Structure formats: C-alpha cells, structure tokens
Amino acid sequence: MQITDNSKQFLKALQDSDLALLSSVPKSDLHNHAPLGSRLSDFEKTIGQKILPPPLSLKDIAEMDNYIIHNLREHIVSLKGLETSLRLAFKHAKQDGIQKLEMSVDCLFVNLFTDKEIGFVKLLKQIHQDEAPEILYYPEIGLSRNLKISDIESCIYPCIESGYFKSIDLYGDELAKDSKNYIPIYKSAKSHHLKLKSHAGEFGNAESVRYTVETLELDEVQHGIAASNSPNVMKWLRNNNIRLNICPTSNVVLCRVQNLQSHPARILADYGINITINSDDIMIFNQSVSEEYLNLFQAQLFSANELNTIRENGIK
Ligand SMILES: [Zn+2]
C-alpha cells in the first residue's frame, strides 16, 4: 500500500500532538451547522461584543437551544448576523484544512431575504467564493423537527428546487415528530438528486436509526451512535452501506457518551460501518475537526492509522 504525503503528515501530527500540522492535512467535515461553524471567540471579536460561554455540559437539545436563543440568536438571525457567521464558518473550515465541507444552513433563513431563496443562494455562493473557493463545498439545506411543518414548507421546497443544494438534513429534537411527517419533503429532495441525511440515534435508540433511514430513504445518518447497542442494526447499516457522520465532543457535552475513551465509534467501526469524524457546532462544542482527531488518538479510541483511514474515507 502506498502511503501518501498527506497520510505521513497526518500520522506524524497525531504522534507529535502537532495541531498546526494536523490542520494542514486535508480532511472532511460532513456534519457541521453553519451559523455555529466558528469559534465563539472569533465571533465575539468580529461583532465586538462579549457573549456568555455555553455550559460545559448540556442535558439535552432543549437546553442547548435555550442557550442559543438567549445568547446567540440575536447576533445570528439577521442578514448581517447570518453573513458574519457564514464568513467565519468558511474561514474556520479553511484554517482547519477542511477540503470537503457539507455544511448545513437552516431553510428558515430564506425569510430574511426579500427575494427569498434567490437572495439566500446568492449570498451563500458569494461567501464561499470570497472566503474559501478552494474548499469543495456541498451546500446542505437544513430543517428542524422543532418547528411546525407548515412553517417550513414555504422555505424548504424552493431551496430544494433551486438546484443549489446538494444534501438535506433534519435536526432538532429527535423525538419531537415522527419521521413520517417529512416523507413528502424527502421525496422531493430525492427527486432533485439531493443526498438524504437526518439526525438519528443521538437521543433515540438503535431501532430509531433504522426506522429513520427506512422512512426517509436516507443515504447517511448524522450521529447514529445508538446503533452501537444493537448488533442487528449495525449489521443492517453495514450491509446497506449507510455512513454515520459522528461528532465525538458533541456526544460527550450532550451527555450521550460518558467520555471519549468509551465512545461507541469504536464499536461501530469494528462492525465495519463507514464512519466519519466531524465538528457539529463549533461555537458550542469548541472543537475543530483536527482537534477531534487528536482527542480520539489521545483517548486511545483509535490508532493513528485507523484515524487516517477514517480521514481518507471522508474526503473520497
Ligand atoms: Zn448536528
């Protein structure tokens, strides 16, 4: 097997705990929510205002949403705030050596624009070009289970039909609404050739992962870590080649996993499931993808070679 220069550097960076070198090696981030895709400290500097830091531990999505609503929302949900946070997210991805980026933006942001999805898409294109044209950016449109579907419909369909977005992701409180409610939206996304993703198995159980994949005909799952409790579901995911885009620090902070040493990514990988390592919400969890790799190596969850294989699979 030929070892590429990138692989050599990645292995060396892990062994030497060299974050700068690690950041220079191409990586993917396939589970990243854009307005929260940069460091809180960079965001504070840019807006010239201090923001209360997030709690180090959150008991559920409601607690996380509560923090966002009371501390970040006013700075992000405006045209200026959206632009600022998107620019910082691309900058951060570039600094972290992200070569392939599937970063989601919530469809409700369409409502900030007088020309709706046209202005929204134009802004995303512009910011990608300005900040990080070298990144292979696959725009992802997001929707939340927390909201009324009737409020989402007027935003999500025009985004799907715009032809700009390459994937779709459903997030929010996993237990809030049955996946069946989203079948029409996902059918439309499929017919427009978007990659189909959804959060599942973060707060739900192993069976909920299979249920969500089957109901929405998913290509990939965001998190999906609860699948590790069921050999049957893991075999099923492997046999159907369903990738899990995992965010280790997010899982620890949201108390889904006790620590990185016991993260189920190990079990999932041992079952032959294709997994990737991602950031989720950098403004909340404060870890870049490079740091996530280093953390997993230092926690001895994976060897450097195993992490390199995960890295390579992500950018394929
Ligand atoms: Zn997420």
68 C-alpha to ligand 1 centroid (Å): 14
Residues 35/86, Cβ–Cβ less than 8 Å:
yes
Beta-bridge partner residues of 105: 141
Q: Strand, helix or coil at 174?
A: coil
CA 65 to ligand 1 centroid distance, Å: 12
Distance 222 CA to ligand 1 centre (A): 6
Tell me the residues surrounding ligand 1 (ion) with CB < 5 Å.
Answer: 280
Whole-number Å distance, alpha carbon 199 to ligand 1 midpoint, is: 7
**CB distance 87 to 105 below 8 Å:** no
Report CA(158)–ligand 1 centroid distance (Å). 23
- Whether the per-residue pLDDT at 1 is higher than 60: the answer is no
Give residues with Cβ within 8 angstroms of 52, minimum separation 6.
71
**Chain segment 101-147, per-residue pLDDT in tens:** 999 999 999 999 999 999 999 999 999 999 999 999 999 999 999 99
d(CA 125, CA 119): 10
**Using 50, 70 and 90 to split pLDDT, how confident is the model at 4?**
confident
Give the span between the Cα atoms of 277 and 51, in whole angstroms: 28
Q: Which residue has the tokens 């394929």?
A: 316
The domain ranges of the chain are 5-315
Distance 3 CA to ligand 1 centre (A): 32
88 CA → ligand 1 middle, Å: 18
Q: How far apart are CA 156 and CA 143, in angstroms?
A: 8
Distances in Å between the Cα of 191 and the Cα atoms of 126, 163, 185, 311 are: 27, 11, 10, 30
Ligand 1 centroid, distance to 31 Cα (angstroms): 6
Cα 278 to ligand 1 centroid, rounded to whole Å: 9
Q: What is the pLDDT of residues 193-239, one digit of tens each?
A: 999 999 999 999 999 999 999 999 999 999 999 999 999 999 999 99
Distance 251 CA to ligand 1 centre (A): 10
Tokens of 164: 């700009």
Q: Residue 104 Cα, ligand 1 centroid: separation in angstroms?
A: 9
**Reported confidence tier of residue 3, pLDDT bands at 50, 70, 90:** confident
Residues 6+ away with beta carbon under 8 Å from 75: 43, 47, 49, 51, 81, 84, 85
Distance of CA 154 to the CA centre of its chain: 24
Q: How many angstroms is it from 13 CA to the middle of ligand 1?
A: 27
CATH topology (fold) of 5-315: TIM Barrel (3.20.20)
Q: Kindly give the distance from the C-alpha atom of residue 2 to the centroid of ligand 1, in angstroms, as a whole number.
A: 34
For residue 115, report the distance from its CA to the centre of ligand 1, in Å. 28
CA of 148 relative to ligand 1 center, distance in Å:
19
Other CB atoms within 10 A of residue 300 CB: 10
Measured in Å, residue 61 CA sits from the centre of ligand 1 at: 10
CA of 281 to the centre of ligand 1 (A): 7
* Beta-bridge mates of residue 106: 142
> Are 251 and 295 within 8 A, CB to CB?
no
Whether 258 shows a pLDDT value over 60: the answer reads: yes
- The pLDDT of residue 2 is 65
